[in-house]
Copies of this chain bind each other. A is one copy, B any other.
Amino acid sequence: MPHYKLAFLGFGNVGKALAKLFLEKRRDLQVRYNLTFTVTGIATGRHGMVIATDGIDLERALEADDLSKLSDEPIAMDTSDFIRKCKADVLFENTPVNYQDGQPAIRHIEIALENGMHVITANKGPVVHAYRSLKTQAEKMGRKFYFESTVMDGAPVFALFRSALPAAQLLSFRGVLNSTTNMILTRMEARESFEQAVAYCQRIGIAETDPSGDVDGWDAAVKVAALVTVLMDVPLKPQEVERIGIRDITQEQMELARREGKRWKLVCSARRVGGDVQAQVFPELVGIDSAMYRVEGTSSIIQLKTDVLGMLTLVEDDPGPHTTAYGLLADFVNAVTA
């Protein structure tokens, strides 16, 4: 029975949810996929790091305030050293996203691939800033670089095209891909002000102290860039996505939409034009004839037009760290059983 050594780089909400899911699915992975695993390294920003070549007790790691106490083995000098020393087969890269240049995550992934690991991440930075080079490096090493959870959490968008829709060409897509703005708009429909809605999102932990990454459409643009780069095979930077955020939508506009039976959505879209791709993130009014109409709160939706099917729509309701974690687990299973 194949055994896999796993390393976790980043152990916040998502990393911990992944560890819990691995514990829950241990038996299932054994029975259905004939595989076992141990976690040989965990590195965090604020709770230290631990390397244990015999395997870390995950239950204890989930409770630990200082991870370094879980093992006597010497810890690493820095993150690069950690990746090499934990001698894992798979690295889960879950450090915070850097929208500007994708670092240091790209460097982490390169080191892991160099050392023969599969790399799985929920981090959008490396996908939009270094997809082609990382994919090429992974192929050269006979390893996988997967990132299902970067768009629509655990809902399988990338895997859909990789395995369930072979020989299909993606012509265009439209979707609602940023949870925070969708929640803000949903709250504003219930007559909260923009500021109140942002404060609510900050309270429940889905908006940053500086909410501009979400409300100005940057996160949505990054997701559009990732989808276009990977699924349309046209490298696109977030800056190349035409972008208008939701900051200027007024209560008067919300009221008008309500009277017309419509809703404001921050719509992501892209379509092939010749050999190029036109991509946008714009607020749009949608009516009940659109599948986007009922996508409220943190739910998300993507509508895919391919050369082989009519429109195919995927909706994910009620996402959270546990669904992001599932995307990472699914990538793991697909990487090692491919």
Q: Are A310 and B314 in contact (CB under 8 A)?
A: no
Can you list 14 pairs linking A and B with CB atoms under 8 Å apart? Answer: A154-B309, A156-B160, A160-B164, A163-B163, A165-B330, A166-B337, A289-B294, A291-B294, A309-B326, A310-B317, A311-B315, A312-B316, A313-B314, A313-B316
| Min C-beta distance of A164 to chain B, whole Å | 4
Asked if A329 is at the interface (CB within 8 A of a chain B CB), the reply is yes
A159 interface residue (CB < 8 Å to B): yes
- Say yes or no: A163 contacts B164, CB within 8 Å: yes
Q: Which of A20-78 contact B (CB under 8 A)?
A: 21, 25, 28-29, 32-33
Instruction: Check A159–B154 contact: CB distance below 8 A.
Output: no
CB–CB B309/A167 < 8 A: no
Chain B residue at minimum C-beta to C-beta distance from A296: B289
In angstroms, how far is the closest chain B Cβ from the Cβ of A291?
Answer: 6
Q: Point out the residues of chain B lying under 8 angstroms from A14, CB to CB.
A: none
Bound form: Cα–Cα A122–B33 in Å: 28
Q: Using A25-B167, A167-B329, A330-B166 as known contacts, say yes or no to A155 and B318 having CB atoms under 8 A apart.
A: no
Partner among B159, B309, B322 whose Cβ is within 8 Å of the Cβ of A316: B309
Q: When chains A and B are docked, how far (Å) is the Cα of A317 from the Cα of B310?
A: 5
Beta-carbon contact of A163 and B159 below 8 Å:
yes
B333 touches A309 (CB 8 A): no
B294-A334 in contact (CB<8A): no
Shortest C-beta distance, A25 to chain B (Å), equals 5
- Which residues of A does B touch, CB under 8 Å? 21, 25, 28-29, 32-33, 153-156, 159-160, 162-169, 288-291, 293-294, 299, 308-320, 322-323, 326, 329-330, 333-334, 337
> Which residues of B lie under 8 Å from residue A299 when comparing CB positions?
310
What 4 pairs between A and B have smallest CB-CB spacing?
Answer: A310-B318, A156-B164, A159-B164, A313-B315
On chain B, the residues within 8 Å of A294 by CB distance are 288-291, 293
Q: How far is the CA of A319 from the CA of B293 in the complex (A)?
A: 22
**Cross-chain contact B312 with A315 (CB below 8 angstroms):** yes
Across the interface, which residues of B come within 8 angstroms of A334, CB to CB? 163, 166
Of B155, B289, B333, B337, the contact of A312 (CB 8 Å cutoff):
B155
Residues of chain B within 8 A (CB-CB) of A154 are 308-309
Q: Please name all residues of chain B whose beta carbon is closer than 8 Å to the beta carbon of A318 when the two chains form the complex.
A: 310-311
Distance, CA A311 to CA B247, complexed state (A): 30
Residues of B within 8 A of A309 (CB): 153-155, 316, 319, 323, 326
How distant is the Cα of A294 from the Cα of B291 in the complex, in angstroms?
7
Q: What's the least CB distance linking A97 to chain B, in Å?
A: 22
Apart from A32-B167, A308-B323, A310-B316, list 13 A-B contacts with CB within 8 A: A25-B167, A33-B167, A154-B309, A162-B164, A166-B333, A167-B329, A167-B330, A291-B315, A308-B326, A309-B323, A310-B320, A311-B318, A315-B315
A232 to chain B, nearest CB (A): 14
Q: Which residues from chain B contact A166 at a C-beta distance below 8 Å?
A: 33, 329-330, 333-334, 337
